[in-house]
């Protein structure tokens, strides 16, 4: 089993402490209890767009530069 750490995850409802092997696992664990995701149906698109919801494009976060000494 991979070694784990305790990550602190900030949410709109407060802080959560989550034990996970990597940061992404902690974030995914928290997000899975807060959000649902599925492919939008045609009806979903028609209803959401007519309500003024804009389509957002995924953008990968900027990769921080490694500080080399």
Residue found by looking up tokens 């007519």 in the block: 50
Q: What is the CA radius of gyration of the chain?
A: 17
Strand partners, 18: 7
Per-residue model confidence as pLDDT tens digits over 52-63: 999 999 887 776
In the three-class reduction of DSSP (H, G, I as helix; E, B as strand; rest coil), residue 27 is classed as: helix
Nearest-angstrom CA–CA distance, 44 and 6: 38
Q: Residue 69 — very low, low, confident or very high, per pLDDT cuts 50/70/90?
A: low
Give the pLDDT of residue 56: 92
């Amino acid at each position: 089993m991979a070694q784990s750490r305790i990550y602190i995850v900030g949410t709109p409802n407060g802080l959560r402490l989550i034990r996970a092997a990597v940061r992404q696992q902690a974030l995914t664990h928290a997000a899975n209890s807060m959000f649902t995701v599925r492919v939008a149906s045609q009806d979903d698109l028609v209803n959401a767009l007519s309500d003024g919801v804009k389509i957002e494009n995924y953008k990968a976060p900027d990769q921080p530069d490694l500080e080399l000494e």
